[in-house]
Structure 1
């Protein structure tokens, strides 16, 4: 029986009556090759076997570990007591016990381990030992947590997108000149939203570069008219919420310019420039849309969805300052956007 061993490295084939050296070599090769942590406890909760992977986790040799309990090995008292109770349960019920637990690896730091304790039955049918198998599941758990976070984020993003589409549709129809006009504007705005989503998707929804946002927003107006635009500014990244807000604002500006402003005239030009500035709070992006060469500009007497988006809704989404100037020689839109340091 195991209680009488002198705590030399116990061979699993000794748990029965056969002691085949060739079989032991095969068993030992398998036990040492696996990355799993393998051990055997006697009925007094002492280790009578531990493979090299487990010894490495402990930072011990077998000579240092042989015959010790979990507490004597260095397990925290709650951890040692938990395993002691589980060993007794396996002996009493002859049924495996499974669980998971954090443990401090000597080389890798704190890890999460999934383990199972299984009864070892002697020739008389009684439990003579308890075998343990433990697997490092840290990466798997982290991956599961990451997936769960992505699901929550996706749910949140879908709800926000649906809310945006609902608001966009309702307000567009409220100010549309006709059903056909409303349908066309809704389609154009949804496409603008889709292009902005494409930019963010390529960046895994972490952030988006301002130049990519601008290019996506004005893309429908570039066919045969790229010379109407001048873009200039340094690399700068916006978080998803602000990126979408800027994209929708630029879409409204481009649509308005094509219908009433600089893009409605062959000589019209649009300068889109951005730079980094310092505010009282922190670093910010200043983005300017400046039209020239179009028809004379007059301050509108009626505010449509686009105007309300630029002047009121955008200020909330950007958490910054927005200014629209209806200068006679061309509309000027200026936005100051606080930068999220985590997006850079």
Structure 2
């Protein structure tokens, strides 16, 4: 079949330059479903020369039978309806592997008003599709996190007000707990919510409680990364420990200190974290007479969120809190075995 050509050679050359320069795949089928034109982009996708592809159908060019049959039906529909159709399909690029292509088949109307050929254009949309899928996952994840955060705030407010002495006391407690939650969110946001390092979590929690870094909090441990859920849970627990230490424990008087340490192990049964908060130099410890929200958070909520075990001991010389939990990833190789807080 001979397609109509512009009479002006310069115009013909301009058309050909455009057809060959575009990254889109451009082609023409005759009424027998044979390729009578293919630009360089399509030939490169096939990994063929035009001499190898000219006059062949999709099936003869190696398309999967279902794929060739689909295009055969679409070509016949374009001829019958004289209307373009659009679709998308996976196809293997000879060098890039499996890709996703968006295509349009359009009727070419001859001088007598009948369809004399079918022109097609195809675009590789693999990267765009992957981006759209990733964006959808991110939106779904964001919705999930927002719902979880709102549930956490709702529970925090309800339980705090239920154990507060009055509205002023309850408001102050709620504000401090929301700030602790916010600081933990800041750490995770910097890490794109993938995970958070233990040192960053601890430093974020204790920062409001010490004027001179390292004066009252002694911190040591290797690099140890926690999932977002465990990082938030531990941050809230540390906030409760620090608040209690300021009111009743080691930080309530001069000379009191808090020693915070952790370790990460990579045993045969899987990686695990062990965390310890130990107070010293404060007043003699007395077990609490009532179990408020903070205590329930430390003993029960944290155990559930960590998926491990917790222990809170009221030793006479200072509160001791221990927590253990499995980790999804092993500790980072080459991490500093000990690092003093600065």
1:83 maps to 2:71: yes
1:113–1:137 CA contact under 8 A, matched in 2: yes
1:164 maps to 2:155: no
Unaligned runs of 5+ in 2: 333-342
1:15 maps to 2:4: yes
Query: What's the CA shift for 1:280?
Result: 7.0
Partner SS for 2:284: coil
**1:174 equivalent in structure 2:** 162
**1:120 equivalent in structure 2:** 108
Query: What's the CA shift for 1:296?
Result: 0.7
2:91–2:101 CA contact under 8 A, matched in 1: yes
2:284 to 296, 312, 321: 296
1:206–1:343 CA contact under 8 A, matched in 2: no
- CA shift digits 1:247-267 (9 cap, x unpaired): 001111110101111111110
- CA shift digits 1:175-200 (9 cap, x unpaired): 11111111100010011111111111
The number of residue pairs the alignment matches comes to 332
Query: What's the CA shift for 1:342?
Result: 9.1
**2:296 equivalent in structure 1:** 308
**2:117 equivalent in structure 1:** 129
State how far apart, in whole Å, the 1-side matches of 2:286 and 2:24 are. 75
Query: What's the CA shift for 1:299?
Result: 1.8
State how far apart, in whole Å, the 2-side matches of 1:238 and 1:295 are. 33
2:107–2:119 CA contact under 8 A, matched in 1: yes
Aligned ranges 1:278-297 → 2 under 5 Å: 278=266, 281-297=269-285
Aligned ranges 1:1-344 → 2 under 5 Å: 2=1, 14-15=3-4, 18-224=6-212, 226-278=214-266, 281-341=269-329
Q: Hey, which of these two has a bigger chunk of helix by percent?
A: 1
Partner SS for 1:64: helix
Query: What's the CA shift for 1:281?
Result: 3.6
State how far apart, in whole Å, the 2-side matches of 1:182 and 1:233 are. 35
State how far apart, in whole Å, the 2-side matches of 1:343 and 1:165 are. 31
Unaligned runs of 5+ in 1: 6-13
1:65–1:73 CA contact under 8 A, matched in 2: yes
TM-score (norm 1): 0.93
